Amino acid sequence: MITNAMEFPCVEATRCYIAEKEHGLRLCYNNHNGKKQKDDDSIVGTLSFTSSRGSEAEWYVHMETTSTHSFFHEETKLGQEERILQLAHCQTGHFLCVTSEGGVGIQAKPSKDTKWTMENNFATLNDDPDCKASFHLRSSLGKLLRITKSGQKKNKLIPEGFLSPAFLQGGLIPGTTCEYQVSTVDNDDFEDEDNSSAESSSAAVFELEFTSGELCFVSNPVLHSQIRCNPLGQLSLTQKSACQEVWRFIEVGNGGALVIATWSHAQTFYLSSDGDGNVFTTKNRLGHNERWKLERTENGARIVSVAHKGRYLSVGNDDGEALFRTTTQPNDYAKWHTEAAHSNTYHLQSIFVTSLKEDAPYISSDRKGRASLSKHKRDWEEWKLERFDDDYVTLYSKKHEQYLGSNSVGEVTTTKKVGEWSLWSIEQSTYGGIYLKSKTYQRRLAVVGEGEMSTLCTTKEQYSSHETWRLEPCLPFFLSPTKIAAMASAGVLGLALTVAMPYALLGIVEVGAAEAAGLTALRVLVGAGMVGTTGVCVVDTDPSAAMPSSPTAMEDYLVASCRPICAWQNW
């Protein structure tokens, strides 16, 4: 599907598991019902490691702007820039920190103690094909994070046969489990460490296993149909654009590889293929059959199998062929269009009104050309964001087929036709959202007054929360009641943030817990090498290849990386 608004991706706040490579365990946190110490903001809780992929092991990643300080590894001839990150627990918003004694703990708010330096692990580069995602974590005190065994074992309450091979590979005895602890080690201790130690007390090597990604519809331009996956994992084509047609593209590294997962189901399915060209779904995301790459082609994109080189995702076009397959001779049936899952449609939410806890924060339209504030989130409050050119956008009411505009005295109206009065530029606001500035009158969309006196208008150069707006994506409804409840409790909020080039806006979906944890500055993900979505942190294979810093260089970088995924027209 081709539109003039393909450059506004629907990107989830970056979530991941922090996996320790040697034992195959993931960093987890139990906050014991959120209790705090009486004297400070420290949290009473337990940091440990787990073999499961549960919510207690899921973390938000806040990557700060890449440091200008860089390193060069003589043995591997690889370069890297210093990357600073903060990790916030998804369930609680609490931050991983280093204590004053050099230990590892959790605290409620971000500070210098919650900043960790990501140092690429060059040691395993020659024997580990996935080493580009491997790193050490160094605290603000210069100490490296490590994992140690406590030596204590306890009986498990599950039968031996229920233990997974991955769990047993961690060195655990069937029927028992060993307690692992997280701590730090000094750099000197790390360099002098006896590598033969069975207790694995040296600095740990970690990987980020992302669980979030960019949400897209995937359609075939010949059949004008979307790929659909039902709750049983069965694939089909449909002309609908609903929740079962939304796919999550998750970065896994290895030169831009992705896994393509369902979004709305309680059980996640991953798109997979085999060497015979069969395409199906699986619950496993760890195999190579589930990895794909994207390529630009004329009027579309190719989805290419990583495991089976030269094979492209295609729709069967002959009698007797499977509905989906991979082919070695790509044609138009192996061509795909990716569109942001929110279809570039948003609710415009006032940050100022929301901060007052009032119930009318959304911009609404009516058939008579009036724009006002509303407490509802109906189709009257839905606005399609479309790119007019590289500098300006329009806001289109799908219900009333009118464009949001303004006049010289600050009145806000809607009109049937696009004019200079209905063009807006988007600027980042320091209040956690964006400013919308009229091209003709150089006035910002705003709310003045409080309560019943609140009025939608435009104002001159105030730069306050009154002029700050959040773009809340309009997404298809979930099928899963559990996910509906989870999203409602977290607050499914959208936030459009400018990054390097004018058209690249991140339509963040899950701001809820990330926002509470102070992680709304997600614009920095692109500047930090996150490649426009949840991307991975990889070693630069070219020593001279630093992350681009200028808008033009960043645009070229994203184009070469085929990111954002929905912006294939600009690759």
Range of the domain at 349: 345-473
What are the backbone angles phi and psi of residue 529, rounded to the nearest 5°? 95, 20
Confidence of residue 181 (pLDDT cuts 50, 70, 90): confident
Separation in Å, CA 430 to CA 86, 427, 463, 464, 471: 20, 10, 9, 8, 15
The predicted structure's pLDDT at residue 319: 61
pLDDT tens-place string over residues 183-229: 787 755 544 444 434 333 478 899 888 898 889 999 999 999 999 99
As a whole number, mean pLDDT of residues 150-155 equals 47
The predicted structure's pLDDT at residue 333: 94
Same domain, 233 and 309: yes
Q: Is residue 33 part of a domain?
A: yes
The predicted structure's pLDDT at residue 504: 28
Two structure tokens written together for 296: 């630009």
Same domain, 428 and 305: no
Q: Is residue 278 part of a domain?
A: yes
Q: How far apart are CA 187 and CA 189, in angstroms?
A: 5
As a whole number, mean pLDDT of residues 260-278 equals 93
Q: Is residue 111 part of a domain?
A: yes
As a whole number, mean pLDDT of residues 64-84 equals 53
Q: Is residue 494 part of a domain?
A: no
| Tokens 């061509």, located at residue | 335
Question: Quick check: 114 pLDDT over 90?
Answer: yes
Confidence of residue 384 (pLDDT cuts 50, 70, 90): very high
The predicted structure's pLDDT at residue 177: 41
Question: Quick check: 408 pLDDT over 80?
Answer: yes
Confidence of residue 550 (pLDDT cuts 50, 70, 90): low
Q: Which residue has the higher pLDDT, 3 or 459?
A: 459
Q: Is residue 538 part of a domain?
A: no
The predicted structure's pLDDT at residue 66: 44
Q: Is residue 9 part of a domain?
A: no
Q: Is residue 277 part of a domain?
A: yes
Q: How far apart are CA 81 and CA 86, in angstroms?
A: 17
**How many angstroms from the chain centroid is the CA of residue 40?**
32
Average pLDDT score over the chain: 75
Burial of 441 (0-12, 13-18, 19+ CB in 10 A): middle
Domain termination site, one of 308, 342, 376:
342
Per residue in 80-106, is it b (16+ CB within 10 Å) or e — as a string? bbebbbbbbbbbbbbbbbbeeeeebbb
What are the backbone angles phi and psi of residue 261, rounded to the nearest 5°? -120, 155
3-class state of residue 338 by DSSP: strand
Q: Is residue 568 part of a domain?
A: no
Two structure tokens written together for 265: 């189901």
Separation in Å, CA 347 to CA 88, 398, 484, 534: 27, 12, 18, 24
Domain termination site, one of 473, 501, 529:
473
Same domain, 432 and 303: no
Confidence of residue 97 (pLDDT cuts 50, 70, 90): very high
Same domain, 262 and 324: yes
Same domain, 283 and 306: yes
The predicted structure's pLDDT at residue 561: 74
Nearest 5 degrees, angle CA 298-CA 300-CA 304?
100
Same domain, 314 and 416: no
As a whole number, mean pLDDT of residues 458-483 equals 79
Question: Quick check: 302 pLDDT over 50?
Answer: yes
Domain with residue 402: its CATH number is 2.80.10.50
Q: Which segment of 14-18, 49-53, 183-187, 327-331 scores lowest on mean pLDDT?
A: 183-187
The predicted structure's pLDDT at residue 35: 53
Alpha helices (runs of H) in 85-215, residue ranges in sequence order? 165-168, 187-191
**How many domains does the structure of the chain reveal?**
2
Residue 235's nearest CA partner among 182, 193, 278, 180 is 278
pLDDT tens-place string over residues 491-544: 332 222 222 222 223 344 444 334 433 333 333 233 223 333 344 343 333 334
Domain termination site, one of 473, 491, 509:
473
Same domain, 224 and 314: yes
Confidence of residue 123 (pLDDT cuts 50, 70, 90): low
As a whole number, mean pLDDT of residues 291-318 equals 93
Name 398's bridge partners: none
pTM, 2 dp: 0.79
Same domain, 334 and 390: no
Confidence of residue 100 (pLDDT cuts 50, 70, 90): confident
Same domain, 151 and 286: yes
Question: Quick check: 255 pLDDT over 50?
Answer: yes
The predicted structure's pLDDT at residue 150: 64
Same domain, 303 and 407: no
Q: Which residue has the higher pLDDT, 119 or 82?
A: 119
